[in-house]
Amino acid sequence: MSNSEVEKCPTKKIPEYAFIGRSNVGKSSLINMICSDKKLAKTSNKPGKTKLINHFIIDKSWFLVDLPGYGYAKASKSNKKIITKIINDYFKKRKQIISAFVLVDIRHETQEIDLNFMRWLNNNYIPFSIILTKADKLTKKKVLENKKKYLNAILKEWENSPQIFITSSQKKIGREKILKYISTLNSSFKI
């Protein structure tokens, strides 16, 4: 189901997990990889592809949610405003969110826009994990180096780090770990 307003999202009270991050970071591709269905969520090499709140029901028992990305510099002012409102409303009003997953490109240093979003989630009491995407674009050594750098940046900000997952939608890396994590959370939460 796709919606522009959080009020119209599915009413079924089951655990929900949302993928969020900069536009083009690979949110929709990762949903497709996790669900083993390349055509489920729409992807594009141009930023700004996902424009709505997209609910995918998994095993009839939980939702995976694809959201529009933030930080697309070339979007018009009015579009940026609309996207910000969709994202903020969604996280503030959707009570069944068990956790957000903040996706960041593993090739980049910690960016203020992502840290700011994590601070905002934290201030709104929304638990989150971090997913480093596009690991296939780096060597294994660099992947581990960058994960460590990311962890250190997070620990400068908070006493404990959230979980940090490494993924590649192209090479199908990280699927099992994320599904196992969600499954553990599903079994420990009752809404």
List residues binding Mg ion (CB under 5 A).
27-28, 49-50
Q: Are 191 and 96 in contact (CB under 8 A)?
A: yes
| Interacting span for ligand GTP (CB under 6 A) from 7-15, 56-64, 128-136, 142-150 | 128-136
Q: Which is nearer to Mg ion, 42 or 94 (CB)?
A: 42
Determine the Cα–Cα distance for residues 98 and 11; give it in Å rounded to an integer.
Answer: 15
Determine, following the binding rule CB under 6 A, whether residue 178 of this chain makes contact with ligand GTP: no
Q: Which is nearer to ligand GTP, 9 or 31 (CB)?
A: 31
Alpha helices in 44-174 (DSSP H): 77-93, 112-123, 140-157
Determine, following the binding rule CB under 6 A, whether residue 169 of this chain makes contact with ligand GTP: yes
Exposed, middle or buried by CB within 10 Å (0-12, 13-18, 19+), for 21? buried
Binder of ligand GTP out of 53, 133, 146, 174 (CB under 6 A): 133
Exposed, middle or buried by CB within 10 Å (0-12, 13-18, 19+), for 134? buried
Residue 47 binds which one of ligand GTP, Mg ion, none, with CB within 5 to 8 A depending on kind? Answer: ligand GTP
CB of 19 to ligand GTP, least distance (A): 8
Other CB atoms within 10 A of residue 151 CB: 13
| Interacting span for ligand GTP (CB under 6 A) from 43-51, 123-131, 150-158, 181-189 | 43-51
Measured CA distances, 114 to 104, 136, 155, 181, 186 (Å)? 8, 21, 15, 22, 26
Determine, following the binding rule CB under 6 A, whether residue 52 of this chain makes contact with ligand GTP: no
| Interacting span for ligand GTP (CB under 6 A) from 38-46, 55-63, 144-152, 182-190 | 38-46
Q: Which residue in this structure is represented by tokens 């969020």?
A: 20
Residues that bind ligand GTP (CB under 6 A): 23-29, 43-45, 47-50, 68-69, 133-134, 136-137, 168-170
